[in-house]
Each structure stands twice: as structure tokens, then as C-alpha cells.
Amino acid sequence: MGVFDDLIKIDENGEIVYNQWIEWDHFFITNKPEWLRDILRNIMALFGHCMNCTALDGCYLVTRNMPKQPLHERCDCRKKNITQAIVKRNANAECDIRKFTEYVFKNTQDSKGKNQIFYDLGFNIDDSGYLQTEYNKQALNQYLNGNYVLKNLDRRGQRLAIPISLNGTSFYSGWLLCPEGKIRNTTPFGGWIK
């Protein structure tokens, strides 16, 4: 196994894809310590800077699948090439168990019918821990392969649709991209894969 095994992947359609990772960089904003990042982002908000850009600062993306730079007129954002090893070392997926216990499985009305999808796949509220683990594992793996779909980007950040497969059925789940390869689940079901 060489370094190119990480850069070049075969996607689900058998196509060769090339994964060059970058870190989005907005001037003056650091990734760590987190409290300083928060202060700097707050100052940028007070100064009227584009919050979409500051939300992207520090985020890892593959070049073939990232928002176009410049994001807007007079956007000073840059991108820094980073290795897959850095992404692998730092990335992690975070899915709160309450996404299942307090949302999906809560009741039909509040989950707007999403509970039925999971019941049909053979899961119920007692499987929330299993689903949480499975989501974290699968989403992280897909993200590390650059296998995500860019959804809307705004001041809250870049949303990603990431495929999840349960008992042979595949669909998208919703995630928010955070600095240094962290992805945070927003919604367990974000649409069928068509």
C-alpha cells in the first residue's frame, strides 16, 4: 500500500477519483484554541465579514467537491493543501443519540413520518445506540473518501449529505461540516438516494 492509495479511490460506480484535500482558510481565524476561534469569529461578525466564509475556515474538503473560491466579491479566503494523513488523524463524526431517542423515534407527528422508515428497516428506539455507532462509523468513512454531497452553505456552515446504508437500504443523512474534519449530524434522514 502506497501513499497514492489514499489519494486515488475507486468510487461506487467503478470510476477512479482523485482526492486532494485542502483546509479552507479565512485570514486571522485560528482553529485552536476553540475559545479564541469563537472570539475571532465573533469579531468578524461585528465587522460585517461574510459569515459563510468564517464558518468554512478550518474545514477540510476534497478539491473536486468543495465550494468555489472566491465565494463572493472581495473574498480573501485561501485554501491550503493538506495530506490525507492529517484528515484521517483529525476527522471525526459526531451523531448525538438524541437524534434517534428525542427525534426520529419520538412520535410520528414530531418526526414527520421518519420513524416509519426506521421501523420498516427493522429498528426501534432500543436500537438508538447501535444506530448512533453505525452512523458515526459509516459517515466518517464516506467523508474520508470524499463521498459527500455539498448542500446549502450559510452563516451556520456547510451542510453535507452523506450516504448511510442500513440493512441493504441506502439514503442520505444530513451533517454539518466543522473545522479540522469534524462532521456533526443534523438529521438522520436527509432523503433517498436516486
Partner 1 sequence: MKKLDLVKLRNDKLYKNFNLVKDMHGIAIEIKYDNADVLFFNPQNVGDYAIANVKIVDLELEKEKLPVELEKELLLRLDDIIAKAKNAIEPIKIKEYDIVELIVEEDRYTKYGIHKGTRGCVIDNNAVQDYIEVDFSGIDKNGEFYGDCISVKIDDLKVIK
User: Pairing relation of β-strands 182-187 and 92-94?
Assistant: parallel
| Interface pick for Zn ion out of 53, 55, 164, 183 (rule CB under 5 A) | 53
- Rounded to whole angstroms, the maximal C-alpha distance in the chain is 51
| Interface pick for partner 1 out of 7, 51, 82, 121 (rule CB under 8 A) | 51
Cell of 36: 479564541
Which partner in partner 1, Zn ion, none is near 77 (CB below 5 to 8 A by kind)? Zn ion
Please, which residues have CB within 8 angstroms of residue 150's CB and are 6 or more apart in sequence? 65, 66, 67, 158, 159, 160
The site for partner 1, by CB under 8 A, has a size of 39
| Interface pick for partner 1 out of 12, 38, 70, 165 (rule CB under 8 A) | 38
Radius of gyration, alpha carbons of the chain: 18
| Window contacting partner 1 (CB under 8 A); options: 2-10, 39-47, 80-88, 132-140 | 39-47
Smallest gap from residue 18 Cβ to partner 1 (A): 30
The phi, psi pair for 12, rounded to 5°, reads -65, -20
Smallest gap from residue 161 Cβ to partner 1 (A): 10
Site for partner 1 in 119-178 (CB under 8 A): 152, 154-156, 159, 174, 176
Distance separating alpha carbons of residues 116 and 123, to the nearest angstrom:
9
Residue 113 near partner 1 by CB under 8 A: yes
Please, which residues have CB within 8 angstroms of residue 82's CB and are 6 or more apart in sequence? 21, 22, 23, 60
What mask of x and - would describe binding to partner 1 in positions 58 to 97, judged by CB under 8 A?
Answer: ----------------------------------------
The CA-based angle 90-7-179, given to 5 degrees, is 25
| Window contacting Zn ion (CB under 5 A); options: 73-81, 84-92, 125-133, 149-157 | 73-81
Residue 29 near Zn ion by CB under 5 A: no
Residue 192 near partner 1 by CB under 8 A: yes
